[in-house]
Amino acid sequence: MLISMVDKSETSPTITEDGIIVRAELEHLRKAAELVLFEYDEIVEKRDGQRSSVIGTIETGDTLIFREDIDLFPAEIVAIKIWENLWYVISTSEIPPSGFPTTKDAMRAGEAEAKRLKRIKEFFEKDAGIKTEDVTEWKPDKRADADRILGLISSATKKWVH
């Protein structure tokens, strides 16, 4: 998460790179992941935390993880299904248990995450003709479902956005 370094008295901080909201089919998500990850594994994490390969349907609240197939700091594209074909898409990297060796390594990882998310957004909007919205500006269409959907987004942000 990047926060602008502008004095708060002039303007409020701008939060970017938290993720995007996109209405897309599973195949579009796969194509987006293929653009930004070299080789990857596709995993579904159910709401109860159990992980498995992608077989069958993905339910609302489930997380689809495209995890780069490398040993050191693998990149991940994480797509949380928040409603029917509505997804919250995040670019992240696995953080080593002891943290990144240097601040420079952490900054590089953050920059790479931002570039991957930017490329994914460009793919959806330009190549696939699918509108995306920054998660910080997105509002649910149906008021009745808003609390549940915003709860899913909040939980996913806490878990996946570093």
In a domain, 7, yes or no: no
In a domain, 4, yes or no: no
27 domain residue, yes or no: yes
Residue 8 is assigned to a structural domain of this protein: no
Q: Which pair of tokens denotes residue 28?
A: 């579009």
The total of structural domains in the chain comes to 1
- Say how far residue 41 (Cα) sits from the centre of its chain: 16
Q: Is residue 36 part of a domain?
A: yes
Residue 10 belongs to a domain: no
- Rounded Cα distance, 73 and 40, in Å: 13
In a domain, 94, yes or no: yes
The Cβ-side half-sphere exposure at 153, using a 13 Å CA radius, reads: 24
pLDDT in tens, the chain (162 residues): 333 333 333 322 223 358 999 999 999 999 999 999 989 999 999 989 999 888 888 999 999 999 999 988 899 999 999 998 999 999 998 887 888 888 898 898 889 999 999 999 999 999 999 999 998 888 877 665 677 777 788 888 787 775
* Enclosing domain of residue 40: 16-160
Task: Specify if 143 maps to a domain.
Answer: yes
Widest distance between CA atoms in the chain:
51
Cα-based torsion angle of the residue sequence 55, 59, 62, 66 in order, rounded to the nearest 10 degrees:
40
Measured distance CA(118)–CA(10) in Å, rounded = 27
